[in-house]
Structure 1
Amino acid sequence: MKGKSIIKVQKSSGEKVDFSLPKLKKSLRHSGASEKDIQQIIDIVRDELYQGISTKEIYNRAFVLLKKKKSVFASKYKLKKAIYELGPTGFPFEHFIAEILSHSGYQVAVGQYVEGKCVSHEIDVIATKNTEKLFVECKFHGEEGRNCDVKIPLYIHSRYQDLMITQSQDCKNAGWVATNTRFTKDAIQYGQCVGLYLLSWDFPKGNGLKDRIDRIGLYPITVLTLLSNREKEFLLDRGIVLCKQLIVAAFYLDHLGISEKRKEHILNELKLLCNA
């Protein structure tokens, strides 16, 4: 990047914004890389910037450079992209949300039908803890740039109201909407107004998906840089959504015909991620 001219970058939504060096540094720090490594990567990426470069291209370049440093750094860095790779059905994402709640002390059930006053509703995740009962609707998007607008919480709230008529008032019932993308400003405003709990990649601030995953080391297998897309699909089809699940069910790596040496590298990366 020559001189002090402001570089405009293009987001996945098509919006053009100023390139943010602090934002890039922050995302690289989440990978666990050292400050020295981060600075080296930033110097290279900054020199390759040009007007209109996509955020995807910046990400890809930083990812490759991180992977050269250490594969586990690249795995942690690609967390957001890895969540998108849980598709296309969204079913693994429902299990992922269930696991996050399970690690917070809830008993969870996925894909349950519950009778409302007017109709029966399929609830993606039901989580209970003591007298608390959560009804969670998961909205998964397989591509970036597709945020959840106000129509989503409007629709979920109407379902939730129908459900509450048939639910025990002895429980502290709560409706949730969880997404792997972001909520629009209106969606957040409406959700807060009617009492829906919204969970997205970066909302609530400090307790969004990214923060929860980093805090408990609950990484999806799609973050792994040592597995091919075909191998990840094989594991997802068999209900292996989390890195910690693959550690316990490592025999699936044998089913994939993975060599002992490569298997050792994969298990080492899994343990580093889960202990992070």
Structure 2
Amino acid sequence: MRSSRRFWSCSSGYPFEKFVGEILKHQGYRTKVGVIIQGHCVSHEIDVEAEKDNQHFMVECKFHNRQGYKCDVKIPLYIKSRFEDVKKQWEKRKGHATKFHEGWVVTNTRFTEDAIQYGKCSGLILIGWDYPQQGSISDRINMSGLHPVTCLTSLTKAEKQKLIDKMIVLCKELCDKPEVLEEMGISHTRVKRIIKEGEEICSGST
């Protein structure tokens, strides 16, 4: 298993939101990334709004590139209060009174024990690199085959950042648009090597 540090070592918040949105879309959710939603009291910028069947989700993505960082209980406490404000407004929408609404916090790192306890008690879903045991970020990556470009060892850190700046977040996106690499000045020989690694990662053969 490739480490979460390697996955996101040079990334930032928005690409992680897009990545989470793509993972959920692959699992059959209808998603919107970076949306402004009017809550009962104030408006909120939501990282990912997702819907599936009769379910409606507010997904907040917490990206960290600091080794060993853990999301403490303050984060789910804050997200839970925002979700409750959004939920009150969602329930007023036509056809939403009977819908199931739920808040999620997704991080590329881990949660403290207090954060996990609060999530379980409050009904807020927490998804971390290896939490929960089934349905963690690493599980969803492996099941979907959607790996971020930051896991490509054939790219330099600067090259990964350039791709992310161009909103190329997934290895699959890069394999579909190899010309982006040549536009960045990467030699044809290296492009072939990079694309080969990307295809191997997507196929699960690494």
Task: Tell me which interval the TM-score lies in, with the shorter structure as reference length.
Answer: over 0.9
**2:142 equivalent to 1:195:** no
How many angstroms does 1:172 deviate by? Answer: 1.5
**2:4 equivalent to 1:80:** yes
> Residue 204 of structure 1 aligns to a residue in which SS?
coil
> Residue 165 of structure 1 aligns to a residue in which SS?
helix
Equivalent in the alignment of 2:32: 109
> Residue 166 of structure 1 aligns to a residue in which SS?
helix
Note the 1:48-197 alignment, pairs <5 A. 77=2, 79-87=3-11, 89-167=12-90, 168-197=96-125
Note the 1:210-249 alignment, pairs <5 A. 210-249=138-177
In 2: Cα distance, 1:169 partner to 1:151 partner? 29
For structure 1, the 5+ residue unaligned runs are 1-29, 31-76
Q: CA RMSD in A?
A: 1.2
In 2: Cα distance, 1:90 partner to 1:220 partner? 13
2:77 maps to a residue whose letter is L
How many angstroms does 1:141 deviate by? Answer: 1.1
> Residue 180 of structure 2 aligns to a residue in which SS?
helix
1:137–1:121: structure 2 CA closer, same or farther, 3 Å change rule?
same
In 1: Cα distance, 2:5 partner to 2:67 partner? 9
Contact preservation (8 Å) 2:145, 2:203: yes
Larger relative contact order (C-alpha < 8 A, sep ≥ 6)?
A: 2
How high is the TM-score relative to the length of structure 2?
0.92
In 2: Cα distance, 1:80 partner to 1:181 partner? 7
How many angstroms does 1:171 deviate by? Answer: 2.0
How many angstroms does 1:119 deviate by? Answer: 0.5
In 1: Cα distance, 2:8 partner to 2:203 partner? 23
Contact preservation (8 Å) 2:15, 2:164: yes
Largest Rg, 1 or 2? 1
In 1: Cα distance, 2:134 partner to 2:86 partner? 30
For structure 2, the 5+ residue unaligned runs are 91-95
User: Would you say how many aligned residue pairs link Structure 1 and Structure 2?
Assistant: 199
1:159 maps to a residue whose letter is R
Moved over 4 A (4+): none
How many angstroms does 1:86 deviate by? Answer: 4.6
How high is the TM-score relative to the length of structure 1?
0.70
How many angstroms does 1:142 deviate by? Answer: 1.6
In 2: Cα distance, 1:170 partner to 1:123 partner? 22
Contact preservation (8 Å) 2:148, 2:170: yes
